[in-house]
Structure 1
Amino acid sequence: MYKKNEKLLTIIIPCFNAEKYFERCALSLEKVNSDNVLILFINDGSTDTTQELIKCWIKKHTNGYLINKENGGYSSAINTGLDNCNSEYVMFLGVDDELDSEGINNICIHLKKNKPDILAFSTKKIYDDSNKNMMKFEIDSITNFKNPGIYIYDIYTLYKKLGKDALILFVRDTSRCFKMDTIGKTRYFGKTGISADGCFSSIVACKSKSFEFMNDVCYFWHLHEDSLSGRKKTIEKIEEELCVWTEFFTWITTSSQTKNIPDPIIDYLFIYKELIDVLYREGRTEFATKHEIHLKKFMIKILNNHTISAKSRVKIKYPGIYKVYMNARGIIIG
């Protein structure tokens, strides 16, 4: 398709029935430097005009490529993109979102100069309210870095030093560029992508040794009624999400790269538990019990075999006491 490391950065855009948003997304890519950046569209079995729209765009742009695949869900679309990514870096763009092209061009300068394993940048959240015909804008607080700069640490030490500034490394898959050599064979779990992006991000963060944080706004994140993050979870999707967490914590508790585990990853144990509790309430007892057994094993392994903070140790060993303590401080847990 194209030569290895022909481009500095590949932007992977998963697309499924995206005709409603495609033009807005594509317009934001017009001024991205085509010498540095390749745009890789993954058409995940769309049944509308998405494929035709992509073909029209790539006819006019030498740095655009299309891969068609049968519908398999967000995770499989991202994995297809990663399997076909030959650049030095990769980032992900939702087809219903936009980029700031000048910001991306500036990021490419930093990637060439500093070569971090992960480069994080700022995101502007845009709340689309079609009912009120209005939009609300704000900088995503998790990408408003108090201590921008370059850091050469493992993820445990980085989180101890930076705290909130490092939280973006453990959540969704946008607002960052990832080095492909660091990603290696790491791929998304599951099918729908629910929680899989945070798991992927956390694993890559654990494998990383160098980080750069920039307050340049490069991503425009649209939140609307069609957003994946805004959709209500069905019981079937909760069950899939539990399987994603099982795969994630299996990796965490067995990898040689996670002897020291930062707090945000420990916090995911309690999201796992909350989902198990939902299934118990819904009468899915057998499935919930199986995952509760997994969860207890993961907690025991982490307590016995890994370095974690005193706060995380208390949370795992005495979750009830920790909940009472935090609630007394005005921080509602659960």
Structure 2
Amino acid sequence: MRAQIGEAGLAGNAGVMSRALAIEARGLVKRFDGFTAVDGVDLAVPEGAVYGILGPNGAGKTTTLRMLLGIIDPDAGYRRILGSERPHDVARAIGYLPEERGLYPAMKATEAIAFVGALRGLPLREGRRRARKLLEEYGLGYAADRQIRQLSKGMAQQVQILGTLVHRPRLVMLDEPFSGLDALNQGKLEKMIRGLAAEGTTVIFSTHVIAHAERLCDDVAIIAGGKVPFAGSVDLARDRIPAQVRLETRAVAGDWVHALPSSVRREGRFWHFPLPDTGVEPLLRTLIASDAGILSLSIERAGLHDAFVAIAGEAAARSLAADEGGEERK
């Protein structure tokens, strides 16, 4: 059954509808024993984009990815991946890193990467050649002949990520790829994702860490409670909250104060208020004419974290913060 596209979905995805889509989903629903894990999710992921699914643990991110991949079937809705409504028909063009990591402990790193590639149709001999090259490129050449059990958790995860890429997929889907990596290796993974995008590969990843999505993504879907209240560009999400003006004046009183927005708050010589719809130019003219003594002025756009709070709500934001805190303690 193909679900109708609601107004919110149209508005959120308007910026990408004119581009070819690597992934298109409408009204995806999945229930488990009477519990609705995913409730009417719409996604539109352009080819060549870096796309993030952002939300707390339990929001429905993994279930959504598994439905897109055909690992599980939706109870309702429509999906198209790389032009096909049958995900298994295009499986060899997809690289997938599941949330639950798993490699055979006795396998050597090179063999593990080649084995994952073979599952996607890559001949083992070619897989071994590419595996050694990838390990060298990402600073793991010394581990090529070590067994997985001899590697640290972070190194083993990097090996599995390379296995996801070894067959050179058109579409890469990563479920919480930064989980378990230290800051250095998170940086390496971010660089890897940017490199894939530069080559034209579509990358979609789920995360509960806003910073990764803000640094990497062209577009994001914010998911909470199995629903997607927002899907679109990071800039569009941030624009949900007006930019904030920080004004410093020499004078702290005068008729010019009445020209400031009613929502202004004062901290010493500093004034804080949302950027007016008319911009700051009319206000600046009034301040200059009234000799308010402008010492500094800055305009700061909202970050993706503030946008997430505004879109998903305080409860989802608290869950996200708890997830991030738990990840840092690992």
Query: Scaled by the length of structure 1, what TM-score is found?
Result: 0.26
**Structure (1 or 2) with the greater strand fraction:** 2
Q: Between Structure 1 and Structure 2, whose CA radius of gyration is higher?
A: 2
**Structure (1 or 2) with the greater helix fraction:** 1
Q: Highest relative contact order (Cα 8 Å, sep 6+), 1 or 2? A: 2
Query: Scaled by the length of structure 2, what TM-score is found?
Result: 0.26
